[in-house]
Copies of this chain bind each other. A is one copy, B any other.
Amino acid sequence: MSKTEYNVKTIEWQSDEVVMIDQRVLPLDEKYIHHKTWQEVGDSIKTMVIRGAPAIGVATAMGMALAAMQSPATTYEALKQDLDAAAQGLFITRPTAYNLGWALQEQAKIYNEPGDPDDIRRRLKERSQEILDEDIAMCVAIGEHGAPLFPKGARILTHCNAGALATAGYGTALGVIRSVFKRDPSIMVYADETRPFLQGARLTAWELQQEGIPCCLITDNMSGYFFKKGEIDAVVVGSDRIAANGDVANKIGTYTVSVLAKAHGAPFYVAAPTSTVDLSIPHGDHIPIEERDPAEVTHFREVQCAPSGIDVCNPAFDVTPHENVSAIITEAGVHLEPYSESLAAAKKGK
């Protein structure tokens, strides 16, 4: 797959800087932020300049490479100390995304072995680029595995953004949709807006528009209406973490969509790389759910839309139980119940 196929550059190295498209200001503004330190990368993860579990993984790996470059250490021990501190700082930015911890472990494999500091610096940067390249390749594989699941002319609902912007490119759920569209241009996509952060309205609608994939934007509470009218044939979403039994943590609202899909007999697919599968967690109750700033709910960008002082809940994710998941699509294939077996086999195969 050539690079020119991608209209969207989510994150990349430009010499020794990590450059990210600022996803907070899309789709009205296309702004790129340059990062010279791991702290800047951490801030960008926390404030959602970059979001989406696979993209966060890439950013984390690059952040660790920046940490190595920043460090004035001339000995292995001093460098390792700085890298451990950076890893701790990056780890706490977003608690739900499993790829974040996975990327830290990947980089730790390099710097946990004593070696020449400059050699470690070089290898951390190389590995972060590899993770980016692998991520795109995985997304394309996910798309190819997932595409045959959809009927001709499918009307597909997706929630949040699991697109090129949530990954290094191509996307997981939107990767599947891209692959379906290549085979069947008669499909259409319902993108729900995904309050409070509006990833659907701002990012998914924008990506689909860039690709020329027919898309209808709806608010989150409209999907039941379209399910009831028989106008949604299937759902595909991404994931931030998948437990060993197939329980799926994803953007808040995913669980509601899964209940609607089940009630209306529509298949509910999850698309994610195997790096999102956390076999150490037996089921979804163990997945930490991040609670975010109440202002995301009381405000719509800078516009206040609720009375001052009102109590707010703002869980950023929910867990869809595996019973509501028709299949999990990874780069290794299409996995079915019992997920405890199929996911373990997929991880082992890697």
* Residues in A lying within 8 Å of B, measured CB to CB: 27-28, 159, 192-196, 198, 201-202, 205-206, 209, 214-226, 228, 252-253, 255-256, 259-260, 262-263, 297-298, 300-307, 309-315, 318-319
Contact = CB atoms under 8 A, between A and B. Distances in A.
A255 B194 contact: no
A226 B221 CA distance: 15
Contact of A221 (B27, B253, B303): B253
A224 B318 contact: yes
Contacts of A315: 222, 225
A295 to B, nearest CB: 12
B310 A305 contact: no
Given A297-B217, A315-B225, A198 B255 contact: no
* Tally of this chain's copies: 2
Given A27-B306, A225-B318, A303-B303, A217 B256 contact: no
8 contacts: A27-B306, A28-B304, A193-B306, A194-B221, A196-B219, A218-B312, A225-B318, A259-B260
A147 to B, nearest CB: 23
B221 A220 contact: yes
Contact of A311 (B198, B216, B226, B260): B216
A217 B311 contact: yes
B222 A313 contact: yes
Contacts of A309: 209
B224 A256 contact: yes
Contacts of A193: 195, 297, 305-306
A222 B253 contact: yes
Contacts of A306: 27, 193, 198, 201-202, 205-206, 217
Nearest to A258: B224
Nearest first, the 9 closest Cβ-Cβ pairs linking A and B are: A221-B253, A224-B256, A300-B300, A220-B221, A195-B219, A27-B307, A201-B306, A225-B318, A224-B255
A325 to B, nearest CB: 15
A153 B220 CA distance: 29
A202 to B, nearest CB: 6
A311 B224 contact: no
